[in-house]
Structure 1
Amino acid sequence: MVDSGATLTISSKTYSAWSLRGWLLCRLAGLEVTEKMVANDAANRAELLLLSPSVLVPRLTWQGASVWDTLAIAEFLNEQFPGAQMLPEDPIARAHCRSISGEIHSGFTNLRSALPMNLKVRHAKFPVFSGARPDIERIEAIWLECLDRYGGPFLFGAQPTVADAMYAPVTTRFVSYAVALPEPCEAYCRTIAEWDPMREWIAAAKAEPEEMEELDVEF
């Protein structure tokens, strides 16, 4: 890890999928960051909800740069740390990685609404809103194609990339809400759950105060 005085502004580790993505991207780059938590009082939550999705969380501040939006953070870190191989080396695979990362960044609104990220719940059964089914099926198709094409266990092979950081919160949703998946997708969810940075984040989420209210909009 590079101790460089970088700061990452994040929100709740229990509920904030975008914060998780930004944090994982920093881990992929090998950049050590000081976490700056957005206060969880009601006034701050209301302000965040009004600003979403343009709210500046996560935001990476480093060496005079202030970078928000997860894809911007990914590209910035990839430029600063090319040796970290945050994107696949092969240009075709790299384009594929950027494409599916952009897809999760801009889409799947029904899934976000129906299955909000909550790392403190685990349902044995959960009725999934029918409108979310196409989103789930599309994510399954993305994962199955990547795992078959690049051999797993991560989406683009043996090592995690930007795409895995972007889809990691989705794996937690599928686990939390007992979404039935094809076995390769189940295996991928296990791979992400066993990834050391994810273990660290989930442990920190479980240590957050119980009185924290769930955000109504997923960041």
Structure 2
Amino acid sequence: MYQLYIANKNYSSWSLRPWVLMTTLAIPFEEIVVPFTPISSWDEFRTFSPSGKVPCLNHAQLTVWDSLAIIEYLAESNSSVWPESTEARAWARCAAAEMHSGFSAIRNHCPMNIGIRLRLSQQPQDLQKELSRLDELWNQGLDKFGGPFLAGDKFTAVDAFFAPVAFRLQSYDLKLSPAAMAYADRLRQLPAMVEWQLAALKEVWREEEHERETLERGTLLQDLRV
């Protein structure tokens, strides 16, 4: 049985990726939630993760850390993780890797906070540039492989990598083209995404740094958490 260590569902975008993939593809695992601490999570997270970060996967006496490494490890035993066709699989890996290593402006200006609705005070040029690239990338996948997911008719790892962005679009009222917005809606309507969001809204933990970063970005319109 896989053991997947994650942090708060409201904040942890990196944890969401393998969790939503494994849940949607019905890959059995034990979920272990270790919340971010008010001071530092490093010491506590280091007890199970070499990097001191989440997510982290334990399986058959192996420890696999980093979301991309976890998904590639899962792909070795689960053929449904990536698309079947060589072309779609290559494109999906490129898009997932781009998300994994890039889109820093979206991360920085719109920190993951599922339970809030906020109006940004401004949309800096670097954020607008990345939103344009995101829109271009999503439309390319949808057009090239026919949808309704990025690499075809099945949910795969590339969709999991962009799942946190679907929540960010909702939290910060970010706008893309109609096709891209419809795709984000489809992601949020997945049973696994609905389950994650409901759990995030019920969390009682608050991490001061995450909250401060969020509120610095604009005007808080609504807080849907307990």
Question: What is the TM-score with the length of structure 2 in the denominator?
Answer: 0.84
Distance 1:217 1:9, change over 3 A: farther
Moved more, 23-32 or 187-196: 23-32
| Percentage of matched positions with identical amino acids | 35
Cα offset, 1:197, TM superposition: 0.6
Asked if the contact 2:41/2:52 (under 8 Å) is kept, the reply is no
Decide which of 117, 122, 131 is 2:117's aligned counterpart.
122
Is the 2:131–2:176 Cα contact (8 Å) retained in structure 1?
Answer: no
Q: Where does residue 60 of structure 2 map in the other structure?
A: 63
Alignment check: 8 A CA contact 1:28 1:86 kept? no
Task: Determine if the alignment matches structure 1 residue 203 to structure 2 residue 211.
Answer: no
Structure 1 residues 8-27: aligned runs within 5 Å: 8-27=4-23
In angstroms, what is the RMSD of aligned CA positions? 2.3
CA contact (8 A) 2:56 2:64 kept: yes
Q: Does the 8 Å contact 1:25/1:73 carry over to 2?
A: no
Contact 1:8 1:59 in 2 (8 A): yes
CA contact (8 A) 2:5 2:55 kept: yes
What aligned pairs does 1:166-185 form with structure 2 within 5 A after superposition?
Answer: 166-185=161-180
Following the alignment from structure 2 to structure 1, what is the Cα–Cα distance between the partners of residues 33 and 106? 26
- CA–CA distance in 2 between the matches of 1:124 and 1:48? 34
Residue identity matched to 1:18: W
Name 1:103's counterpart in structure 2: 98
| Inter-partner Cα distance in structure 1 for 2:119 and 2:39 | 34
Cα distance between partner residues in 1 of 2:190 and 2:122: 28
Pairwise mapping of residues 1-219 of structure 1 onto structure 2 (< 5 A)? 4=1, 6-45=2-41, 54-82=51-79, 85-123=80-118, 127-209=122-204, 211-213=206-208, 215=210
Q: Size of the alignment, in residue pairs?
A: 208
After TM superposition, give the deviation of residue 77 of structure 1 in Å. Answer: 0.6
Structure 2 unaligned runs (5+)?
A: 46-50, 215-226
Give the whole-Å Cα distance in 1 for the aligned partners of 2:92 and 2:187: 17
Structure-1 separation of matches of 2:41 and 2:121: 27
Normalised TM-score (structure 1) = 0.87
Does the Cα contact within 8 Å between 1:29 and 1:81 map onto a contact in 2?
no
* Pairwise CA distance, 1:33: 1.9
How far apart, CA to CA, are the structure 2 residues paired with 1:35 and 1:167? 21
Structure 1, unaligned stretches of length 5 or more? none
